[in-house]
Every structure is written in C-alpha cells, then in structure tokens.
Structure 1
Amino acid sequence: MPAYSKSDLERRMAGAVEALKHDLIGLRTGRASTTLLDPVTVDVYGATMPITQVATVSVPEPRLISVQVWDKSNVGPVDKAIRSAGLGLNPIVDGQTLRLPIPDLTEERRKELAKLANQYAEKARIAARNVRRDGNDSLKTDEKKGEISEDERKRAETEVQKLTDATIADIDAAAAAKEKEILGK
C-alpha cells in the first residue's frame, strides 16, 4: 500500500491553518471577546480545568468581560488564573462575579501583539512545510518500493507544492487580517 496520501496531507495542512486561527483568536484587539479567556486554566478540585468548566463567560458590554463563577470557593482560583495568564487583565471581584474591563491597547502593546501574531503565523508555516516534507518523503518511499513511477512521483510532488503554497497563502492572509485588526488600520 502506498505511503503517500493526498487526503492526509490536505487534512494536516488544514489543521495547521485551524491551529493558527485558534491561536490568533486569543490575541486581544481592544474589544471584549469570550475567546480571550480560552487559554486560561484554573486549578480547582485538585485538577487543572479550562475556565469554561468552572464559570460562565459573557460579554455584557463591548469593553467588559463578565465571569460568573458557579462555586463560591472557586472565585479566588479563577481570579488568580486570570491575573497570571499574561493577558494584561485585572479582574474586579464582585461576589461570585468577576468583571474584566478591557483596557485600551497602547501603541507599544499593539506592536507586541502584531509581532506575536507573526510568530504564530511562522509556526504554522513551518508546520505546513513539515507536512510537505513528509509527503515528499512518502512519495520517494513509494517510488523506491516500485509502487509509483518517477513521473508519477514528480507529478504528485508538484501537487504537494501547490497544496503547500495555497496553505501558506491562507496562513499569510489570516495573519495579515489579524495584524490589521490589532494595529487598527
């Protein structure tokens, strides 16, 4: 059976783009969003859990996130987790509710976030290139085993390169859109 699978490569390249989009969602752009707290995990009940498993996160106003903690004993750990997540947010505790005002982004912070978006994009490009390398290696293996001819390998390598180019174009577009959103241009 051939080692090369075009559908597997397409799935893995799409995965790289999806991972990038998920990473970019977490970058703050000055507007409140429930996805901003997605990377936050809370140490409660002797385990580490996503914040969404111990509280309800909502956006009642454009510049405010509200976190309604279900168990009163978890208010402290949730507060601590948000403060230590490196998001630049300072919760205001109001009973079992934490209010997170979203501060205006400074020009310096915007540039840092844009740089971080580019780092995420580069990580995704590297992932796409690694998938391309794996695909080309599989094609060479198939050719050595005599399962495909040299012409078939070259044709398939061209397809792999086209898939890689398209994936990297998607990555660049997602990164450019996020950078534009962050810098407010």
Structure 2
Amino acid sequence: MNEDVQFILDSAKEGMVDAIKHLEKEFMKIRAGKANPAMLSSVMVDYYGSDTPLSQVANINTPDGRTISVQPWEKNMLQPIQTAITNANLGFNPMNNGDFVIINVPPLTEERRIQLTKQAKAEAEDAKVGVRNARQDANKEIRDLDVSEDLQKNAEVDVQELTNIYSKKIDVFLEAKEAEIMKV
C-alpha cells in the first residue's frame, strides 16, 4: 500500500480513537448512582485568585458507595471548595464538618435515570459525529492524492471499515453505560 494512503489511514484511526477517549471522559462525568471522585472533575475552585481544578487543592475519596469526601490540603480552603461544588450545579449538597467537605450522593430517581440515559446517548452521538468527521477528512485526502483509482477505492473501503469498527465500539460503550445507569 502507498505510504501516503497508510498515513491518511493512521490519521483517521487516531481521530476515531480520540473520539472514543473523549466519550469515555464524558461518560465518567455521568453518575450512575454510585459515588465516584470523577464526578467532581469539572469543579473549579478559586485558589488565591485563580480557578484551579478541585483535585489540585484537595484529596477526593469515596469512603462508601454513597459518599464523597473532599479533604483540602489547606484548612482555609474548606469554604471555597464547598461554594465551588455548590456553584458547579452538579445536584449535590456539600456539608462541611470542619475537616472535610462531605457529599452524600442521593440515589437516582427513575426520571433522573432516563434523563442521564438521554445525556449518554447524546454524548455517544457526538462521538459518532467525530468518527464520521475523521472518515470524511480521510476520504477527502485520499481523493486529493495522485494515485490509481483502484488504490483510492481500496483506501476508501479501509476507511469505511475503520468507521464501522469504531461506531460499534461506541455502541458497546453506550449499552454498558445505559445498563449501569438503569441498574437500581
């Protein structure tokens, strides 16, 4: 196979892998009723005038399946952390006991589970769009190459096979996430 075609295929595959990695990160943010430190990954704390990720100013643990404890490295950060978690609009009600910020993760209602499933489907569709965009870019680059028509057709078939593989992976991730969300 032509070197240029192989490079285009590798680039397309890399774009598709990136779409899956992004999907995995987004799925980590969707809670499934079980406490997980990744639920707080989007929380930014005002740390001496600059927005800093929560994980860089505190230790985040899950002592059990329904509780997240946040232990700041500096005691004076308790109130800003509690405020940041509240302002992040994650649906949590953090409590401050003087040493830790404690978050009780409420069990999900059926309505909320359906809502989270819809959110997961939307994220999966975004990932599929990323995969299709990688396919589209690769096909365009292949058509722009100065190679035989047979080689172009074969390369486009290879790109489509990659697209099918990564679309199926996204579907598998989505099924697993939906099962996790709907499990009571």
Q: TM-score, normalised by structure 1?
A: 0.93
Q: Does 1:183 align with 2:182?
A: yes
Of stretches 149-158 and 41-50 in structure 1, the one that deviates more from structure 2 is: 41-50
Flag structure 1 segments of 5+ consecutive residues without an equivalent: none
1:164 — aligned with what? 163
Residues 8, 142 of structure 2: 8 Å contact kept? no
String of CA shifts for 1:72-131, please: whole Å, max 9, x gaps: 222222111111222211111011310111101011111111110011001100010000
2:53 — aligned with what? 50
Q: Does 1:14 align with 2:17?
A: yes
Query: What is the aligned-residue identity percentage?
Result: 38
Q: Does 1:64 align with 2:67?
A: yes
Q: Does 1:85 align with 2:88?
A: yes
CA RMSD, aligned part only?
A: 1.4
Q: Distance in 1 between matches of 2:150 and 2:43?
A: 50
Structure 1 runs (4+) greater than 2 angstroms displaced: 1-4
Amino acid aligned to 1:169: K
Flag structure 2 segments of 5+ consecutive residues without an equivalent: none
Report SS of the residue matched to 1:29: coil
1:135 — aligned with what? 138
How far the C-alpha of 1:47 sits from its partner, in A, is 1.3
Report SS of the residue matched to 2:92: coil
String of CA shifts for 1:127-161, please: whole Å, max 9, x gaps: 1000000000100111xxx2x11110110000000
Question: How many residues align structurally?
Answer: 181
Q: Distance in 2 between matches of 1:2 and 1:141?
A: 11
Q: Distance in 2 between matches of 1:67 and 1:108?
A: 28
Within the candidate set 14, 24, 42, 1:39 is matched to 42
1:116 — aligned with what? 119
How far the C-alpha of 1:2 sits from its partner, in A, is 3.6
Amino acid aligned to 2:31: R
Q: TM-score, normalised by structure 2?
A: 0.94
Amino acid aligned to 2:82: D
How far the C-alpha of 1:6 sits from its partner, in A, is 1.4
Within the candidate set 26, 29, 39, 1:26 is matched to 29
How far the C-alpha of 1:26 sits from its partner, in A, is 1.0
